Structure 1
């Protein structure tokens, strides 16, 4: 199990990932696509990455928007695994 990030590390990480918001014990990013199928392609790509990493985000699809929520459930909050997946999400989108 990964260690939870302290507030200082979390604040520094959010500066590196400005599209993510802290909400409770989770990181959330809402990504808007031009078309529905672009969002579906993104979800499929992220699903492969997440499965490979054995760290699975919550994803909500709302027409052309995908909300990605990251947390490490067994640690009870945000860990380095969440930051790595956030980085990989950013790389897919940006």
Structure 2
């Protein structure tokens, strides 16, 4: 079993969020991020993506969802606070959800722009 990680003080959490995850915020003891989506279909894809990453990391966020958004909340339940584990998972979630292969110039072109049939995440 993994050892209990040290809780990061709130002022350090705020500083790290500003430097490492500027779209995330500290609120009520959780680091949080709301992802806006185009539809229920894309909301479910975001939820499933977060679920896969969390399960692989064995660290489970709380999620709240509606038709066109998903809020991800992270806190290490066993440590009763924010730890490095929360930051690592948040970074992985951020990199995967915000990935836009069409901007990378490779063989993966990304979802078609301008056609609502293929609308996905509302990228920041």
TM-score by length of 1: 0.91
In proportion to residue count, which structure has more helix? Answer: 1
- What are structure 2's unaligned runs of at least 5 residues? 99-124
Give the greater-gyration-radius structure (CA): 2
Deviations 1:41-62 (A, max 9, x none): 1111111110111100001111
Aligned length, in residue pairs: 94
TM-score by length of 2: 0.71
List structure 1 runs of 4+ shifted beyond 6 angstroms.
none
CA offset digits 1:20-53 (Å, max 9, x no partner): 1101211111110112111111111111110111
**Where in structure 2 are the equivalents of 1:1-16 lying within 5 Å?**
1-15=4-18, 16=20
Structure with the higher fraction of residues in strand conformation: 1
Write the mapping of 1:45-84 to structure 2, written as runs, cut at 5 A: 45-84=49-88
Counterpart-to-counterpart distance in 2, 1:52 and 1:93? 16
